[in-house]
Chain A
């Protein structure tokens, strides 16, 4: 089967049906939230930057925040035939790219993004079946909608599948 690839940029979210793959390059403190319905073989990927839209002065862009991107992504996946009760999640990213001696809350943005993602998925009752988060390096991911496999690549730590 001929595979096509949808690229998800920073602050974007996209849903796709098998055999289309979802790709996002360069997750640092951002989190890549991958949702999958294994029966409908529909996947969704959000590349979120910030934990909470209610703290922001500008929040028109739903893909930018954890709390707005997840419901929007589920809605788009439903349109492609996904059933929300079957969704499972894999999450990647949330690194701390810069090390500071006096790290303020803002500097810990990776950790806050991951915490917000865990909480939002729990509220949506979506189980997290795999997670590769934290540390201090960037990751790129490729999410296969035919089997839900996630390929994670980084410059210094090679490739892994989960």
Chain B
């Protein structure tokens, strides 16, 4: 078994390899999103960060930021978590685009159809992200059913990080930002592989030493 908090000892080649994995996954997700909302989707170069739990919420926009979160636990040989966070106002707009509604809401609320549409968006993101990773690494990733939650980032992360908290004091995450129609935020995708998964991924790329 890998000694934990070995993620702190990753070298630059390994960090670049993990970033590239994130890049390939996110690129595929952007293409899928673009087809779904029939508009051009842009993505940032992925950022890779290794942080103790106490620093995570501040990095993800502050613990009281109001967001829509769609999250997947990944099982199989490379366990981890995939989390898609959309600021609440942007999530409202995206739900309107997906459901062909008039964008005229004066308050931010979500009915069952909105939640279902946003979950479907998350499914397409997660599916295309993990498919690309699978093509690139030959690793089989098994996502669980999606879960959607609308609340404060801090409150959501506590639940999302449960699995990672059991095995590590640090979290490694790869963050990619998505935008559409120029500068509208489409949300941020976070891929959080467990330390065990990092080893499996690095090995598949031949940079595990």
Interface residues of A (CB under 8 A from B): 9-12, 25-30, 49-50, 55-58, 60-61, 63-64, 95-101, 106, 109-110, 137-140, 155
Nearest Cβ on chain B to A141's Cβ, whole angstroms:
11
Name B148-176 residues within 8 Å CB distance of A.
Answer: 148-149, 151-159, 161-163, 165-169
A56: contacting residue among B145, B157, B167, CB under 8 A: B167
Contact residue among A27, A30, A50, A97 (Cβ-Cβ distance under 8 Å from B166): A50
Task: Tell me, yes or no, whether B104 is within 8 Å of chain A by CB.
Answer: no
- Cβ of B4 < 8 Å from any Cβ of A? yes
Query: Which residues of B are interface residues toward A (Cβ below 8 A)?
Result: 4-5, 52-58, 62-64, 66, 71, 145, 147-149, 151-159, 161-163, 165-169
In the complex, besides A10-B56, A97-B149, 13 extra interface pairs with C-beta distance below 8 angstroms are: A9-B63, A10-B54, A10-B154, A11-B54, A26-B153, A26-B155, A28-B158, A29-B162, A56-B165, A58-B167, A60-B169, A97-B156, A138-B152
- The smallest C-beta distance from B64 to any residue of chain A, in angstroms, reads 5
The winner among A10, A12, A30, A100 for most chain B CB atoms within 10 A is A10
CB atoms of A97 and B56 under 8 A apart:
no
* B158–A27 touching, CB < 8 Å: yes
Greatest chain A CB density within 10 A among B63, B71, B153 is at B63
**In the bound complex, do residue A155 and residue B66 qualify as a contact, i.e. CB atoms below 8 Å apart?**
yes
Q: Determine whether the beta carbon of B53 is less than 8 Å from that of A140.
A: no
With a cutoff of 8 Å between Cβ atoms, the chain A residues found around residue B168 in the complex are 57-58
Asked if A28 and B159 sit within 8 Å, CB to CB, the answer is yes
Contact in complex: B157, A28 (CB < 8 Å)? yes
Task: Flag if A10 contacts B151 (CB, 8 Å).
Answer: no
Within 8 Å by CB of B54, from A9, A28, A29, A109, lies A9
CB proximity of B205 to chain A, nearest CB, Å: 25
Asked if B54 and A26 make an inter-chain contact with CB atoms under 8 angstroms apart, the answer reads no
B169 touches A49 (CB 8 A): no
The reply to whether B158 and A97 form a contact with Cβ atoms under 8 Å apart is yes
Which residue from chain A places its CB closest to the CB of B161 in the assembled complex?
A49
- A9 vs B57: C-alpha distance in the bound complex, in angstroms? 8
Q: Please measure, in the bound complex, the distance between the C-alpha atom of A108 and the C-alpha atom of B71, giving whole angstroms.
A: 16
For the complex formed, measure the closest distance between the CB of B91 and the CB atoms of chain A, giving whole angstroms: 14
Which of A10, A55, A99 touches B57 (beta carbons < 8 Å)? A10
